[in-house]
Structure 1
Amino acid sequence: MIDQRLKEFVRLHHIDLVRTVNYQKHKLKGIIYEKRLFNQLSSYYLAEVQHQALDQITTIRKKQLNIFEDLTKFEQRILCHSLPKTFDDIPIVAYQNLFGNETNKIMQELRRRKLNDQLKNYELKLQDYEDLYQTEINIFESKLMQTSLNHQHIQADIFRTLLKCYLSHCTNRLIRQIRYKEACVHVKLVRKHHRHLLSKQQIVDVYPQIIVDVPKISLNRIQLDYLSKSDSNPLWSVFDKVILLLNDLRSKKYILSWQLDKMIPKREKIQLAYLYFIPKPHKTGTPLRPIVSSMNMPTTGISKFLDKLIRPIFDKHARSTTIIDGVDLIHRLEAYTTNGYLIPKTYLCTFDITDLYTMLPQEESLDILIEFLLQYDYQKVQNIPIDIIRKLALIVIKENVFVYEKKFYRQVIGGAMGSAFTLTLAIIFMWKWQRQLVRRLKVSNEIYERYVDDIFFTSNDSLECIDQMLDEANNFHPNIKLVRQIVYHKEAAEPYVVPFGSDHPGHVFRNTIDAAITKAVRYSTTLSQFEEEIRQMKLMFLYNGYPPRHIDRQLTTLFSKYLSIYFILPMLNNSDDFDYLRHQLLTTSTDKIYNRTVKSSTTDQTSDKNMQNQLVQPTDNNEITKSKSLIIHKRHEQRLTQNQYHIQGLWMRTFHGTDVTNTALIFGTCLNRNLKQELMPKMIKSKRRAAISQEITTQHETGKQT
């Protein structure tokens, strides 16, 4: 054991020594190359004024890099939870009397805005020096061309190229030095943070944190009105009803065998649903959203089958009033503007439906489902009659039973939030509810779009007319009530994303940053708005442990696809660059992908079944060899990230000189189960075993009595 640890110690030190030697070697090569460029520049005769101009250019660049160094230190302070004293140690007690319970949130937002302003100041200074630097370069080059004779133009071009190479190399060398200092600062700040972590006084922190203690929740009187209490476990009763219904439909040939296999539950896998709550900390009073976890209920198979059966039909016929994503809404607003309907008095309005899922009238929702199918001439869907679809939907919506606080409940109003078919039924119900409102707005060439229970529309009427229209819509149905809003940038409860220190593959963090950047580009209409969004995004990622270099690298990668000019920071120089980038990202719309998905989903699935029986024709051996690949799936763990390189090396050494090396070796990562996933099945499994054993015991006692 000691020998193995000693070998590992020597191996790690060898790796560190090789890394240090390579760093010094590349550093020395850089210095030699820089001196060579300087000697080549010195061979050209320059006037005293030109020497002064070059000194001015290098001085501007050094001042800019000094600000960049301060910026890197500032970002490291945010990353390492070691803010300057001007941001830290704000006492809560001093402001408690002024703001009461909102003190924490208000002070937290003030500090975050202060950090945002400081970050903006650094960026503005860097931008000013960059503009000055580019101006001096252009002036120097223009004067150089003016003073050169005709036969010296080639020398002037060569000198300008050498000068750019020299300045670029010097800048990169200084940036590498700053990055090295940044790494040293990071180590010191981390140690300092660990030392003062326990002794730190209570302050308002800028980092994501839980500031609301949600107590144990009991169902109130209004919630109990939507439920029917049961004294015994209803799981097996629901299971028997589902089995009986599906077998009856199959015996009468209303459904096919493969459809039966999709819907029928497995006795050994079913579990009773349970109720839990998710807090809404961004709303006043922190209300709770009830969720019924019904992943393994007997009706889950039917719910998923109906969702895949009906949803594509709805998506196909309700496309004109449905929003796919933010890009889709932007395109419709642009068309609205192009047609001349957007005027200074145009109002952009939003409202949402209060508790849509849990307020759905069950029987009426099923009637509207049948009405929707008949409206578009569907007597059958994939050879299933619509009255049979209603029977399947009825058992899904009616047999929604769950356990909460050791009591059994059945939902008698609405559908389960957590069931796949509930969403489909809800949006079809809204299709009927909104028809009168849509007709009224479409006559005026206004926009009406809906995403589930969130509605957006435009209006050129007065506020009084809009309020009257919404009051009338509020009386369309007694269960459906509106909550009016204004269009605004909705702030999340906390600037929280997947923490960088969590045990996830690297592509998860990269994709998280890329998605945030793409969203900022698409949803911002001006360069100033985009810069503000990027600052907010950057602070959010710093709060969650993302290194500044990691964020800047993703920004640079995105910008380099469309732009060729950027300087020390990955920033856009002017509005034209931003408009071009935004245009490129907006043209990559999800509308075509959405339409293709709908089209493929609405085709008859029997064709897919027929394809499974066809044989694949053999191809040329060379084509097979070229297209072969072997995918290896492994559980991701941070400590085992180097294993794939070891496997790759072992693969090449083992099959060296054979045709097997033409096979591409691809590594795929699957995430480890989190703590909830590890503990929840065991808890449910124990309950199921207890229920089964209790049922067996009851049957045994009954047999004895008979």
Structure 2
Amino acid sequence: MTSTIPFIDINIRLNLNELSMLKNGRKYIIPCQSYLNRQSRNDLAKKEYERISNIAKECIGKHQMSISDERAKQAFPELEKMIQELNTKPLSRKLYRRARREYHIVRRLQKLIHTQSDIIIRRIDKGEGFYLGRKTTMDLKTQEYMNKTEAYQIITTDQCPLMNILRSVENLLDYLLKNKAITQDRRKKLLPDINKLELAYLYTLPKIHKAGIPIRPIISGLYAPVRCISKFLNDLLAPIYLQVARETTFTNGIDVIQRLEQYAAKGYLKSTTKLFTADVENLYTMVPREGGITALIEFLNKYTKNGKIGPFTIDMILKMARLILDTNYFVYNDKYYHQKRGGAMGSAFTQVFANI
């Protein structure tokens, strides 16, 4: 277990147990909490089996496999048996005491945060640790960021743009279907789940590794109308970009070392060689919309075969790109906003768009 010291930017009293719990980081899972639930463990096991088996069956169906397959017939009873055993197996006294102790620690932390409305808890940017600070401070930094970048426009009407975006998505998918770029099955997969549909929302991550603790805005659109199209377009373009940019792109630290070794082996690395690093501030929000589209057109003209990627023409790809960029609406502090420049941090397509 990797521990991460929490960054506390507020005057708050925490005991050693509470600090230790926060130090575990956001991926830590408190053990055996089902044993403290008022429901019977048999009922919990049944619910857990239903949840996991439904996910598995949906996945099997997506891959055009049958749940009546002989392997599936064997797997599901085994899964049910395993979940039943895990949920009903007696706990050792030591583990039970630990589960109760950690349960109460978390409950105290939750109560402490909920009773003080100005406390905010976030994960830190580029890390797994927690940040505790004041909501008013984060709101102020968010507003300063919006004013500085001039990338966001508040919507003055109270009308939620969600249904208009959904209609735009449906119209685009109908166009692609009509022109035989996608199948009816693909259209269904690119449509959002109507039962879970919601407008994206903005939250911020504190950059504790930088002076003044600036924020990184994230627009979370897990159930937003264009999410599936954004991921689809990213999956379509990213492999081409990565292939084109391979010679000038480092994938990780090991790749950097290997490239430097190759550079040195060729005799290029000398005592006078200077290495530079640069950071583009607010990259995703500072990309000019039309300038980015122009760059995308040039990229597609240069690296597509006969102006197509599979069944998708350049015009179709541009329609998808414009839809994603033009419908970037979100909620923040009970107000509607529209991002009028760049792409949303949190949208799958934004990264490849900014890279291109």
| TM-score normalised per structure 1 | 0.30
SS at match of 2:349: helix
Matched, 1:255 2:193: no
Aligned counterparts, 1:110-189, within 5 A: none
1:424 match: 352
Measured in 2, the distance between the counterparts of 1:400 and 1:391 equals 14
Structure 1 segments of 4+ aligned residues over 4 angstroms from their partners: 208-214
Aligned counterparts, 1:18-29, within 5 A: none
Out of 114, 128, 153, the residue aligned to residue 228 of structure 1 is 153
| TM-score normalised per structure 2 | 0.59
Structure index of larger Rg? 1
The one-letter code of the counterpart of 2:151 is Y
Matched, 1:396 2:324: yes
- In the TM superposition, residue 351 of structure 1 has moved relative to its aligned partner by 0.6
1:310 match: 237
2:97 match: none
1:241 match: 168
Matched, 1:411 2:354: no
Measured in 2, the distance between the counterparts of 1:395 and 1:382 equals 20
Whether the 8 Å CA contact 1:299–1:396 is kept in 2: the answer is yes
SS at match of 1:364: helix
1:326 match: 253
Matched, 1:217 2:151: no
Aligned counterparts, 1:454-603, within 5 A: none
Measured in 1, the distance between the counterparts of 2:242 and 2:210 equals 31
- In the TM superposition, residue 211 of structure 1 has moved relative to its aligned partner by 7.7
Measured in 2, the distance between the counterparts of 1:209 and 1:388 equals 42
SS at match of 1:314: helix
Q: Is the alpha carbon distance of 1:270 and 1:209 closer, same or farther for their aligned partners in structure 2, counting shifts above 3 Å? A: closer
Whether the 8 Å CA contact 1:238–1:399 is kept in 2: the answer is yes
- In the TM superposition, residue 257 of structure 1 has moved relative to its aligned partner by 2.8
Whether the 8 Å CA contact 2:328–2:344 is kept in 1: the answer is yes
Aligned counterparts, 1:342-421, within 5 A: 342-378=269-305, 379-421=307-349
Whether the 8 Å CA contact 1:262–1:305 is kept in 2: the answer is no
Whether the 8 Å CA contact 1:276–1:290 is kept in 2: the answer is yes
SS at match of 2:330: strand
Q: Which has the higher contact order (CA 8 A, sep 6+)?
A: 2
2:192 match: 265
Deviations 1:591-625 (A, max 9, x none): xxxxxxxxxxxxxxxxxxxxxxxxxxxxxxxxxxx
Q: Is the alpha carbon distance of 1:312 and 1:258 closer, same or farther for their aligned partners in structure 2, counting shifts above 3 Å? A: farther
Q: Is the alpha carbon distance of 1:224 and 1:292 closer, same or farther for their aligned partners in structure 2, counting shifts above 3 Å? A: same
Measured in 1, the distance between the counterparts of 2:131 and 2:227 equals 34
1:634 match: none
More helix by share: 1
- In the TM superposition, residue 216 of structure 1 has moved relative to its aligned partner by 4.1
Measured in 1, the distance between the counterparts of 2:203 and 2:178 equals 38
Measured in 2, the distance between the counterparts of 1:224 and 1:340 equals 44
Deviations 1:54-78 (A, max 9, x none): xxxxxxxxxxxxxxxxxxxxxxxxx
Measured in 2, the distance between the counterparts of 1:331 and 1:216 equals 41
Measured in 2, the distance between the counterparts of 1:213 and 1:348 equals 39
Q: Is the alpha carbon distance of 1:339 and 1:252 closer, same or farther for their aligned partners in structure 2, counting shifts above 3 Å? A: closer
2:221 match: 294
Q: Which runs of 5+ in 2 are unaligned?
A: 4-8, 10-128
Q: Is the alpha carbon distance of 1:236 and 1:426 closer, same or farther for their aligned partners in structure 2, counting shifts above 3 Å? A: same
Query: Identity across aligned pairs (percent)?
Result: 40
Q: What RMSD in Å do the two structures reach over aligned CA positions?
A: 2.2
Measured in 1, the distance between the counterparts of 2:196 and 2:131 equals 36
Deviations 1:392-448 (A, max 9, x none): 1100011000011111001001110000000010111xxxxxxxxxxxxxxxxxxxx
- In the TM superposition, residue 212 of structure 1 has moved relative to its aligned partner by 5.7
Measured in 1, the distance between the counterparts of 2:236 and 2:185 equals 14
Deviations 1:338-359 (A, max 9, x none): 1111111211111111111111
Measured in 2, the distance between the counterparts of 1:209 and 1:405 equals 22
SS at match of 2:277: strand
Deviations 1:97-125 (A, max 9, x none): xxxx9xxxxxxxxxxxxxxxxxxxxxxxx
Q: Is the alpha carbon distance of 1:227 and 1:246 closer, same or farther for their aligned partners in structure 2, counting shifts above 3 Å? A: same
